[in-house]
């Protein structure tokens, strides 16, 4: 589902139309409400799991740049023996190296690793959600939370102008807030870095 489609669903849930009392909202406003939900997710400590296997191994090289999307690195894998076959590097054999003004890198200790340019490095971890443009794809496993929290922001805005619907909108906003808060509290461990995850400085 695209962000534009999800924002339109939020609009439908608001039952917003020009003949109703109080303020109305545009498609751009509903996208902004959805992105308010993204910011709430990030502020609450929510992340999204990602992996990247596009980094080539380079002969005699033990430091590899961490792709820009990563806020935490959970695991490093070394492709060897055959394409697509990865060995997980034990935590004691890799670490994140960072110097001010430089790109953070993963250093893999020589004792564990003999680089082979035939193969790749697998990096698994977590990213922060970025705000959406209309055509961006919304992660399916977060769409319900983002819908309910976006609905809260939309109804809170729409109730501010008063009118006969203001009280109903305020009540519906609080309900949507509670629903999204319950989802947030029950979120899977997949959306959180684990105890051994390493923070990527500056991310």
pLDDT at 15 over 80: no
Final residue of a structural domain among 72, 92, 127:
127
Distance of CA 133 to the CA centre of its chain: 14
Q: Are residues 120 and 156 in the same domain?
A: no
Model confidence pLDDT, tens digit, residues 151-199: 999 999 998 877 778 888 999 999 999 999 999 888 888 899 988 899 9
The tokens of 186 are what?
A: 């029950």
pLDDT at 145 over 90: yes
Backbone angles phi, psi at 61, to 5 degrees: -120, 130
Model confidence pLDDT, tens digit, residues 45-92: 999 999 999 999 999 999 999 999 999 999 999 998 888 899 999 999
Residue 200 in any domain: the answer is no
Residue of 65, 10, 37, 55 whose CA lies nearest to 129? 37
The rounded mean pLDDT for the chain is 91
Residue of 123, 119, 132, 131 whose CA lies nearest to 104? 123
Q: Which of the 8 DSSP states describes residue 166?
A: H
pTM tops 0.75, yes or no: yes
Backbone angles phi, psi at 63, to 5 degrees: -120, 130
Domain that holds residue 8: 3-46+130-191
Final residue of a structural domain among 127, 147, 170:
127
Which residue is associated with the tokens 């004691």? 92
Q: How confident is the model at residue 18 (pLDDT cuts 50, 70, 90)?
A: very low
Which range has the worst mean pLDDT, 12-26, 27-41, 64-78, 112-126? 12-26
pLDDT of residue 19: 45
pLDDT at 22 over 80: no
Q: Are residues 37 and 74 in the same domain?
A: no
pLDDT of residue 84: 86
pLDDT of residue 189: 83
Residue 201 in any domain: the answer is no
Q: What is the four-CA torsion angle of 65, 69, 73, 75, rounded to 10 degrees?
A: -80
Give dist(CA 120, CA 146) in Å, integer.
Answer: 35
Sign of CA dihedral 125, 147, 3, 160: negative
Strand order in the sheet with 105-108: 63-65, 105-108, 94-97
Q: Are residues 54 and 9 in the same domain?
A: no
**How big, in percent rounded to 5, are the helix, strand and coil portions of the chain?**
35, 20, 40
Q: Are residues 123 and 52 in the same domain?
A: yes
Give dist(CA 118, CA 56) in Å, integer.
Answer: 8
Give dist(CA 170, CA 153) in Å, integer.
Answer: 10
Intra-chain end-to-end CA distance of the chain, in Å: 27
């Amino acid at each position: 589902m695209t962000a534009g489609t999800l924002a339109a669903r939020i609009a439908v849930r608001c039952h917003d139309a020009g003949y109703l009392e109080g303020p109305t909202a545009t498609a751009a406003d509903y996208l902004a409400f959805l992105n308010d939900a993204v910011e709430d997710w990030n502020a609450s400590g929510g992340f999204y799991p990602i992996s990247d296997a596009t980094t080539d191994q380079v002969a005699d090289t033990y430091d590899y740049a961490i792709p820009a999307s990563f806020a935490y690195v959970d695991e490093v894998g070394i492709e060897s023996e055959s394409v697509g076959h990865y060995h997980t590097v034990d935590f004691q054999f890799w670490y994140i190296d960072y110097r001010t003004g430089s790109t953070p890198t993963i250093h893999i200790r020589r004792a564990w690793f003999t680089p082979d340019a035939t193969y790749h490095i697998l990096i698994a971890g977590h990213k922060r959600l970025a705000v959406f443009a209309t055509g961006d794809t919304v992660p399916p496993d977060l769409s319900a939370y983002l819908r309910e929290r976006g609905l809260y922001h939309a109804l809170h805005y729409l109730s501010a102008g008063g009118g006969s619907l203001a009280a109903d909108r305020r009540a519906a906003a609080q309900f949507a807030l509670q629903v999204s808060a319950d989802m947030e509290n029950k979120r899977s461990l997949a959306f959180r870095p684990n105890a051994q995850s390493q923070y990527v400085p500056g991310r």
